[in-house]
Amino acid sequence: MSRLIVVSNRVPDPGRPPAGGLAVAMHAALQARGGVWMGWSGQSSGEDDPGPLATRQEGQISYALTDLSDRDLSEYYEGLANRVLWPLCHYRIDLTDYARRDMAGYLRVNRLFASRLRPLIEPDDIIWIHDYHLIPLAAELRQMGVANRIGFFMHIPWPSPDVFLTLPVQDMLLRAMTAHDLIGFQTEDDAENFALCLKRGGVARPLVEQPGLFYTQERQFRVGAFPIGIDARAFSHSARTTIENATIRRFGQSLEGRELIIGVDRLDYTKGLPQRLIGFHRFLENNPAWHGRVTFLQITPKSRSGVAEYEALQREVDEVAGHINGTLGRLDWTPVRYVNRAFSHHVLAAIYRMAKIGLVTPLRDGMNLVAKEYVAAQDPEDPGVLVLSRFAGAAHELGGGALLVNPYDVETIADAIGRAVSMPLEQKRERYAAMAEAVRKNDVFDWCNHYLDQLANLPATTVNHENEIPRG
């Protein structure tokens, strides 16, 4: 079996067991195959150039970590990655802030990753690159003579051509993507959007007789959908066992028999938090009989502090939650509990299990694993109801059981909450069963193995200098 090399922007702490999600699957795959996990250490070298690559062996896994300078973080991470690609891929062209300096820094850091990874690569290694921070990395490796099979997985959405082609450097990034052998997306819609970008940009053509296969003048590559899953069995076990935790029991007692509605999201403008809160407010206005009988707990850890858009969002969410509690709250009832801190997966699993409604209404999301976690945590005999945005990737798998909503339409959200709180138990069980089957069938390990099997069975590529990236 070939070794596996995983490259991601961030790497989990080698000294701690992975907490969940992608880290669990990557850790398991690397332990089984042996290999390297490379990425940013999370540390800054300040004004100095990054020091040498730090390596650490843990079992079968060699962790390879590099620091980045303050300039790198400003241009590569905060600049091109998070002020351009993140909003663009979530259809927020109005929030993109492109600068040539940031693009130069983005390419420079990808070149740094490639130069530090190159000496670690053995001839039969399979390389798996993750997410939008590292789009040019494969092309940089190809220029260094790496002919290994290289896969790429995009964890966030890929936008339609009319959106992506507004980016000044779209052609450069699309051509860099063709350096991979297998390009994976969360949904068929994302894969189709990418294919349309290739076609409209004149970068590559499809092989009509082989769907998903594309070619440039000198090489070919495959594009497909690989919807990511969770460790459903472990999450379900945590939900069942942690529910007996003393803190969780006290929280349950504080609800005083009220129905719990749960929302869990990082503080980000893609999550639709103001619309969700306003939708809950509208539900309460339209259904006064439910006053005092439901509590909405929104858990929203802060992210990217110091960024103007996120600070403005924080103020808006604070104001909406405060308005709801101020106008509808009573001495014995607070409609919205809004918490700005993170909780462990074990605690979240127990809270999901207690909640009769899961509100997962992002404006746009690659997958949204909260939706799958909520399903995995439920009691099959008395499950809750998932209210899910139709613009989350999870809607493609869970749409048969969830109540799908337009996250921009607060009336639709309000109506869905009304349906959920009054849904008969038998209907809830039927809807849950359909979703639970999908979550179990495609867990994170199946996702990882399916992707790597396809990548491993592709023929080794040849170096293609068409992928060359300008050195500006």
Among positive and negative, which fits the CA dihedral 364, 368, 371, 372?
A: positive
Read off the DSSP letter of residue 93: G
Q: Closest Cα to residue 182, out of 122, 210, 233, 223?
A: 223
Structure tokens at 384: 């809750």
Q: Fill in the amino acid letter for 272.
A: G
Other residues' Cβ atoms within 10 Å of the Cβ of residue 8: 21
| Helix segments in 96-152, DSSP class H | 100-117, 137-143
Backbone angles phi, psi at 307, to 5 degrees: -90, 130
Query: Is 415 a catalytic site residue?
Result: no
Query: Is 237 a catalytic site residue?
Result: no
Structure tokens at 244: 């007996």
The residue whose two tokens read 């600070």 is 311
Q: Angle CA(79)–CA(81)–CA(84) in degrees, nearest 5? A: 75
Q: Extract the runs of DSSP E, i.e. beta strands, from 286-402.
A: 294-299, 336-339, 357-360, 385-389
Q: Extract the runs of DSSP E, i.e. beta strands, from 11-82.
A: 35-44, 54-58, 61-68
Own/partner pairs, 16-19, CB within 8 angstroms, 24+ separation: 19/344, 19/345
Catalytic choice (155, 237, 323, 396): 155
304/268 Cα distance (integer angstroms): 9
Q: How far apart are the two ends of the chain, measured CA to CA in Å?
A: 39
Catalytic choice (190, 265, 365, 415): 365
CB 95 within 8 A of CB 87: yes
Residues 6+ apart with CB under 8 A from 23: 12
The residue whose two tokens read 């308005």 is 323
148/345 Cα distance (integer angstroms): 36
Helices then strands, each counted (H, E), the chain: 18, 16
Other residues' Cβ atoms within 10 Å of the Cβ of residue 68: 24
Exposed / middle / buried, residue 107 (Cβ in 10 Å: 0-12, 13-18, 19+): buried
Q: Closest Cα to residue 28, out of 396, 444, 411?
A: 444
Enzyme catalytic residues: 155, 365
